[in-house]
Amino acid sequence: MKTIAPDRLPALLRAMPKAELHLHVEGSLEPELIFRLAARNGVALPYASVEALRAAYAFGDLQSFLDIYYAGASVLRHELDFFEMAWAYLERAAADNVVHAEIFFDPQTHTARGVPIEAVIQGLDHACHRAHAELGVSAKLILCFLRHLSEDDALATLETALPYRHHFIGVGLDSSERGHPPEKFARVFARCRELGLHRVAHAGEEGPPAYIESALDVLRVERIDHGVRCVESPALVERLARARMPLTVCPLSNVKLRVFPTLAQHNLKALLDAGLCVTINSDDPAYFGGYVNENFVQTFAALPALTADDAYRLAANSFEASFASADDKARWTRQLDEAFAAAG
Ligand code: HPA
Ligand code: ZN
């Protein structure tokens, strides 16, 4: 690879093509859109203004974030609301040179308020199709189960989603991690595997390395979301590296939710050096202070040990770790090579 001058690295991080694999679409809901949808749908918010809402974005841990995140999502009522939210994200993703996004959504957050799952999925699907046609972004959906709810609730949600099976490529597991180990969802993930759905799970964000192991062994996941606590078990790190099991890491999220005290103390470089298939993602960008390019640029600024080779590896990993076709992966990797050749 050609040498890249360090002062040219931030521009290259922004310009290089990349896939985003860990993005909760409800976490892309910006305060301005929350207020616009609240007014349109007649939903009362416990915040007087956009500024007051933004001022509440100071989180002590995952749960304190989730409480505000679910309150924000309460303004979503109709198919058009879901379309507008996803479209706004996809326009931002395109501006960050995201060529492929695998987008998480939380149907139970909405169906519990009486929103039909059809409105959720059709609105999001419409935005994905339009993004492909108009922005050149490939966009797919991953349905997430909320782990603080029961497995029976997850199974019932899966059944109501099956008429729209062709609109999502896989399932995930998110929400409060501690006290809700992956094995709680063994049956629903087994059913999803039978249905040919891809499987991912949040594990090792706040939870222990044992949760990463049970996500692999019991849920048979194909990627781990976050996974940063794997370093507490050297044997697990070795297993993840050997299997090239992807970890979708979200640096700004990890600092906002106090998984690491500062970005400079993030273990991303150590994970890469251990040979892990790490990717950089934005998680809930409207809440955590930046979309994917901001995650790249701020992380590289905070961790000077990260090199242009690491930048290339992170983008290449994002394609490798995606559920896209081999042809698409090869095409995006060629575009990545071109971006590096042009910058060298
Ligand atoms: N962790 C768990 N659940 C979530 C997150 C997260 O970072 N964001 C949205 N739901
Ligand atoms: Zn997440």
Ligand 2 mean position, distance from CA 327 (Å): 28
Chain centroid to Cα 344, Å, comes to 30
CATH number at residue 145: 3.20.20.140
- Looking at every residue in the chain, the average pLDDT score rounds to 97
Question: Per-residue pLDDT tens for 131-181?
Answer: 999 999 999 999 999 999 999 999 999 999 999 999 999 999 999 999 999
Output the pLDDT for position 1.
61
Kindly state whether residue 143 falls inside one of the protein's structural domains. Answer: yes
Pocket of ligand 1 (CB under 6 A): 24, 27, 62, 69, 174-175, 202, 205, 253, 283-284
Q: Is residue 311 predicted with pLDDT exceeding 90?
A: yes
- The CA distance from 171 to 148, in Å, is 16
Q: Is the pLDDT of residue 274 over 90?
A: yes
Residue 183 gets which letter from DSSP? G
Within-domain flag for 4: no
Task: Classify residue 328 as exposed, middle or buried by CB count within 10 Å of its CB (0-12, 13-18, 19+).
Answer: middle
- 206 falls within a domain: yes
Tens-place pLDDT, residues 27-75: 999 999 999 999 999 999 999 999 999 999 999 999 999 999 999 999 9
Tell me which residue of 130, 158, 133, 169 sits closest to 323, measured CA to CA: 169
* 3 inside domain: no
Boundaries of domain holding 168: 9-343
Instruction: Kindly state whether residue 77 falls inside one of the protein's structural domains.
Output: yes
Active site residue 205: yes
Buried b / exposed e over 87-98, threshold 16 CB at 10 Å, is bbbbebbbebbb
Q: Hey, whose CA ends up nearest to atom 2 of ligand 1?
A: 175
Question: How many structural domains are present in the chain?
Answer: 1
Query: Do the domain assignments include residue 303?
Result: yes
Q: How confident is the model at residue 3 (pLDDT cuts 50, 70, 90)?
A: confident
Q: What is the pLDDT of residue 2?
A: 57
